[in-house]
Structure 1
Amino acid sequence: MDFDVAAFRERFPSLASGIAHFDGPGGTQTPREVGAAIADTLTGPLSNRGRQVASARAADDAVTAFRQAYADLLGVPPTGIVHGRSATQLTFDLARALAKTWRAGDEVVVSRLDHDANVRPWIIAAESVGATVRWIDFDPATAEVDVDAARAQLTERTRLVAITGASNVLGTKPPVRAIADAAHALGALVHVDAVHLAAHAPIDVAELGADLLVCSPYKLLGPHCGVLAADPALLDTIHPDKLAPSSDAVPERFELGTLPYEVLAGATAAVDVLASLSPTPHAHRRDRISDGLHAIDAHETRLRERIERELTAFGDDVVLHSRASDRTPTLLVTLPGRSTAEAAQHLADRDVAAPSGSFYALEPFRRLALPGDEALRAGLAPYVDDRDVDRLLEGLAEFLGR
């Protein structure tokens, strides 16, 4: 299906700023519908969740709609959807809860490809009980994860494997299903950080091989929060710390305190924006979401390939580290002999947002041995167009003196 980027951009008031946004991996811009949903819910009537009066029903309906929207996005039952302040918070909470069932000598496997939010919580939890941490590596020359090498890190003592669905700096989509199948054969759980993946590809938690999966609505056009998706039967076996009077039902047992109903409404609206891109408006929402994400992927892939082609004209002045055969439209580059922080500032002075840093990807940067622990990241989002790409490339050429 065709993707009308000009029409899509009209839905984003913030784009009137004139900024060319290549900072989508850190958080996308927000469409008008999302802001309206937040404002409409917050300005009420709104009370604590219940069914007695209209204000209470509004809160309850916001929760129900949120769970159904992310069930449709991720392919799990609504009772398998948990709200959290962030994916990081959800992962820390899960790690602490699961560690209660681990013992000294158990093993937890993490990945050098991952954002630290899917590394440090598991390391801390493992250390708290004397479990061993093992590592899945990637090849810095190709940015690929070798399946056999990953399988070699799994043993009969493996209790959990934490792996990204897509790297937030390199874009690499590792072979999650193959790794998950090997982990499941040994009785281990698989936790997938899909924060970066969910913005660029349809997800089915079971087909991916994930037992537990987190994503962040603010990376896919929504407000700042996190989502955990899992089989409700699995969630029923996990017992997080909670207040004594709070519900022990799934998924409520994982949600601490009163939920931010207005944020849930905004997150639901973001899913509906993705679904609205489908040419079949009467299809099931999950199918419409898939249509929308496939259209976005085709648009973003075309722009990514254009940027890559034109970067080759810079020769040795630019090194592209995003090289995996299967990846998202996220490009990590270094500029030999030059500061990427200065390049990012040069671009920012021209209203091009392409930041420099390590982006909480501590292990990938260690593995790549990048100088100064910094690189320039240009990440595409669906509202980026060819004029934005022109400005990015022209700004880089100017910075490089070409």
Structure 2
Amino acid sequence: MTHDIAGVRAQFPALKAGWAHFDGPGGSQTPQPVIDAVAEALAGPLSNRGLTTVGERNAEDCVVAAREAMADLLGAEPSGVVFGRSATQLTYDFSRTLARTWAAGDEVVVTRLDHDSNIRPWVQAAEAVGAVVRWADFDPATGELTARHIADQLSDHTRLVAVTAASNLIGSRPDLPAIAALVHERGALLHVDGVHYTAHAPVDLAALGADFFACSPYKFLGPHLGVVASRPDLLETLRPHKLLPSSDAVPERFELGTLPYELLAGTRAAVDFLAGMDPRARGTRRERLLTSFGSLERHEDALRRRIEEELSRLPEITVHSRAAERTPTLLLTIEGRSTVDAYRHLAERAVAAPSGAFYALEASRRLGLGDTGGLRVGLAPYNDEEDVDRFLEALADFLRTAP
């Protein structure tokens, strides 16, 4: 099977501006079918959800279709898909809800590899009830966070472990099934930040062992909102604070206020777009997604290897993305040079590769980069060989300039 890069790129109006985008980890560009779906939802009659008027039915259809699409994308059940403003907001909501079941002396494990949105909500929720926070490290030399790193922090008092499926800073992909087995042996729950991971690899909630899996459609070609997928039976055991008249059904009890129906329409369209990236994919939407992601992984990995090979010839460059399993995301530092200056130099040549720690402060500090981080080069489904050429040429040009 083949990733149809020409067909994919033709669907992105933003690419007409002429930029080479390596800023996908911070938010991807949007294909025309997603834009159209959002506009069509807003253009038609639209009301609060219901089954009587056309506006009510349109809103209901947006919600149902989006839940089904996200369930196909994540290998979940539609009734286990929760929508919210962002993955950060949902993580805060779930952390507060779960903390109501904790007591002083219970333990929560977070990792130094994670984005702060999968650290601070749990730290703050634990502190509010007197629970203990334990920190799992990772190896800064390799970028690896292993099951052993998690196991060292587990005890009979562990109630929840929060871990990333893929680092948004250096791309490392921990062995989630191995981690999940250890966590569940202790009777604890596993909350997985899949925001970066979902854009690059197929997700199967049960196979990964995630009790909660958070992601953000705007990282995989969709609109700005957040999603948490879980087992419906697990969601039934949780009692979030909510308005009295609002639905107590799962998953609605976790969705506070009116949902953004037009963004849900765009989310469904984004999943359909992902399922069609390999034009030879056949079968159900889930089957087509698995085929298309297989083709996408091969495409992105080939581009990543080419970039890494060229960077290895530049002695001034240090690549901090070294894990054996990782996404096509590279973090670079440049000896004697500011990566902010490199970022600006690239931008002047219409190459978007930003500099920073990207909310992964603990990881950046553990790598010895403080809060500054480095230059992040992230691939997305629309990147091609010409983009790579432009990035490498612009970076080489920066290295030739005087400090």
2:329 equivalent in structure 1:
330
Separation in 2, partners of 1:341, 1:7: 34
Separation in 2, partners of 1:34, 1:323: 34
Change (3 A) 1:281 1:370: closer
Which residue type is aligned with residue 356 of structure 1? S
Aligned pairs for 1:179-190 (under 5 A) are 179-190=179-190
Change (3 A) 1:300 1:144: same
* 8 Å contact from structure 1 (residues 333, 375) kept in 2: yes
1:355 equivalent in structure 2:
354
Deviation per residue, 1:334-363 (Å, 9 max, x gap): 001100000000000111000001100011
1:390 equivalent in alignment to 2:392 = no
Which residue type is aligned with residue 349 of structure 1? E
Q: Aligned-pair distance for 1:68?
A: 0.2
1:242 equivalent in alignment to 2:247 = no
In structure 2, runs of 5+ residues without a counterpart are none
1:76 equivalent in alignment to 2:102 = no
2:340 equivalent in structure 1:
341
Matched residue of 1:373: which SS? Answer: coil
Q: Aligned-pair distance for 1:145?
A: 1.3
Q: Aligned-pair distance for 1:374?
A: 2.7
* 8 Å contact from structure 2 (residues 365, 371) kept in 1: no
2:42 equivalent in structure 1:
42
Aligned pairs for 1:3-402 (under 5 A) are 3-279=3-279, 282-315=282-315, 317-370=316-369, 373-401=372-400
Deviation per residue, 1:64-87 (Å, 9 max, x gap): 000000010111111000101000
With the length of structure 1 as denominator, give the TM-score of the two structures: 0.98
* 8 Å contact from structure 1 (residues 341, 374) kept in 2: no
Matched residue of 1:382: which SS? Answer: coil
Separation in 2, partners of 1:294, 1:40: 31
In structure 1, runs of 5+ residues without a counterpart are none
Separation in 2, partners of 1:169, 1:372: 12
Which residue type is aligned with residue 342 of structure 2? A
Separation in 2, partners of 1:235, 1:280: 37
Q: Aligned-pair distance for 1:280?
A: 5.1
Deviation per residue, 1:301-360 (Å, 9 max, x gap): 000000000001111x00000000000000000001100000000000111000001100
Separation in 2, partners of 1:173, 1:281: 26
Separation in 2, partners of 1:299, 1:240: 42
Q: Aligned-pair distance for 1:177?
A: 1.2
* 8 Å contact from structure 1 (residues 357, 376) kept in 2: yes
Which residue type is aligned with residue 329 of structure 1? P
* 8 Å contact from structure 1 (residues 87, 215) kept in 2: yes
Change (3 A) 1:372 1:223: closer
* 8 Å contact from structure 1 (residues 161, 183) kept in 2: yes
Separation in 2, partners of 1:61, 1:281: 26
* 8 Å contact from structure 1 (residues 192, 210) kept in 2: yes
The number of aligned residues is 401
With the length of structure 2 as denominator, give the TM-score of the two structures: 0.98
Separation in 1, partners of 2:197, 2:371: 27
Which residue type is aligned with residue 364 of structure 2? F
